[in-house]
Chains A and B, each alone.
Chain A
Amino acid sequence: MAFPVDMPPHLVQHLANMHLNGLNPAWVLLAEDGKTIVRIGGDWGAYCDVLPAVGDAAESLNPVLWNMFPMSEDFRLSQIETADNRFFDIDVRHDASGACWVLFTDVSKVTRRFQEMQQAANTLHLEYHRKHQLLDRHVGELVMSDLLDGGGLYEKGKRRMICTMFMDIRNFTVFNEAHDAQEVLETVNQYLDVMLDSVIEYDGHVDKITGDGAMVVFGLKHRAHCVQQAFDSALLLMQRVAEVQQQRKQHGRAVLGVGVGIASGEAVTGIVGTHVRRTFTAFGRHVNLAARLESRAPAGAVLLDAASYHDLDDRRHCQFSLRHIQAKGIGEVEAWETFPLQA
């Protein structure tokens, strides 16, 4: 391969190396206007169907160079892919006199090798993400992180203070009886979408979905203020449910309400089940109490046990009324009821 005598030595060395490595180097020198080709050399057959000629515009060398010239600084475009899966680099270099040289090198072999590795790494990453997402949906992000970090949620269980929330769509049975199953499913998903988003925003762990409702545990990630988190998420939930109700009303669809029960106390959290099917859950007196309170909460109401009510840092200007409730299997309990959207 011949090189012009005025080509800067570092470019000669670069092109010679490319030539020795079979990378089919090709080059052009541009005129003072920085746009027009004045000299041509190398193996252009690898890059153009029509060979460039003196007097052609530099941007005619390849579509990627459109609108690029004149170029005042050195510049590189790597791994430009052609329609037939070949790759080339374009280097724009200026010599000491300011003259602009444009070099093409065929990097197909090395790029294809790199592509295989890149492909494998990216596929692995995407697969990891998919599995992660799947696990997250089944056991929840907090539990999944704890398990992956070798945390304390193992079979023996862990005793801790938590706050438990139950939520449920009101009059669901009546709605279920009166509507087609497909519509029922879509409606439940529409409500659960906003209900679960609200609790997840406050670091709630969705322990289980109970058809038209859910059990959520707060305090697994941050023990402090877990009651406040639960209460604040309940307020957000009511607000978002109201938005869903409004949308459904506008579309002439049945409007359903949601009731929430919250209780807090000591519980044992851990994995239950057999080797074929396991799940994380929480056991404790207050867990049952939260479920009982939820069953007695009218649509739009949040019912708290006394411990949670007194533990709240901020009641968010909600009006509470004291109720005495006969909780099945527990007896009479004090409960504090609020309708957040009626404040």
Chain B
Amino acid sequence: MIQKKICMLGAFGVGKTSLVARFVHSRFSDRYLSTMGVKVDRKLIDLGEKKVNMMLWDVYGEEENRKVATNYMRGAAGAMLVADGTRPATLDVVDVLLARLRDTVGDIPWVLMVNKHDLVDQWALPASRMQQLEMETRPMYLSSAKTGEHVETAFRQLAAMMVE
């Protein structure tokens, strides 16, 4: 069995903790709870020939006055970058965090999740921006921690990329 550390990175309130809760415990809560430092969870993924024990580091969200410290990224083998489709500015935060991650641990596998896809009425990414993202960013998933849309797929994709 292979063990890998994965960092969940993104702006605050994009749903990182909810995505982990959905993926690991198959549950969702509408209640927003700020993550303070880091919370570590695990999930075993069976990729057929290989099994990957994913150690998920749910790191606090980036804020203007509280940047994500690179210490949390140390030793990461992969990263799940998360943005909120109802707040387009959170995609800019993803770019900033990706650059910091690369400076810290080099070019490791990562997947982008644009979360809260269930909030159709509040969705704020125009079709043109989504097309652009799909062309520039691979792999990218529109996800929902609430409905479970693409949650399992995205984590499995990351696991597969890490053991390639």
Contact = CB atoms under 8 A, between A and B. Distances in A.
A80 B59 CA distance: 9
B34 A115 contact: yes
A76 B71 CA distance: 7
Interface residues of B, number: 31
B37 A87 contact: yes
B36 A111 contact: yes
Interface stretch (B91-99, B121-129, B151-159): B121-129
A67 B37 contact: no
Contact of B122 (A77, A115, A133, A200): A133
- The size class of the interface chain A forms with chain B is 20 to 34
A185 to B, nearest CB: 13
B146 interface: no
B72 interface: yes
Nearest to B75: A67
Nearest to A92: B71
B22 to A, nearest CB: 17
Interface string A197-208: 100110000000
Contacts of B147: none
A123 B122 contact: no
B127 A64 contact: no
Nearest to B33: A119
A118 B71 contact: no
A64 B40 contact: yes
A334 interface: no
Interface in B29-82: 32-40, 42, 55, 57, 60-61, 63, 69, 71-72, 74-75
30 contacts: A63-B42, A64-B57, A66-B5, A67-B3, A67-B5, A68-B74, A77-B71, A77-B72, A79-B36, A79-B37, A79-B60, A80-B38, A81-B36, A81-B37, A81-B39, A87-B36, A119-B32, A119-B33, A119-B34, A122-B12, A123-B32, A125-B12, A129-B87, A133-B124, A193-B126, A193-B127, A194-B127, A197-B127, A200-B126, A240-B128
Interface of B: 3, 5, 12-13, 32-40, 42, 55, 57, 60-61, 63, 69, 71-72, 74-75, 86-87, 122, 124, 126-128
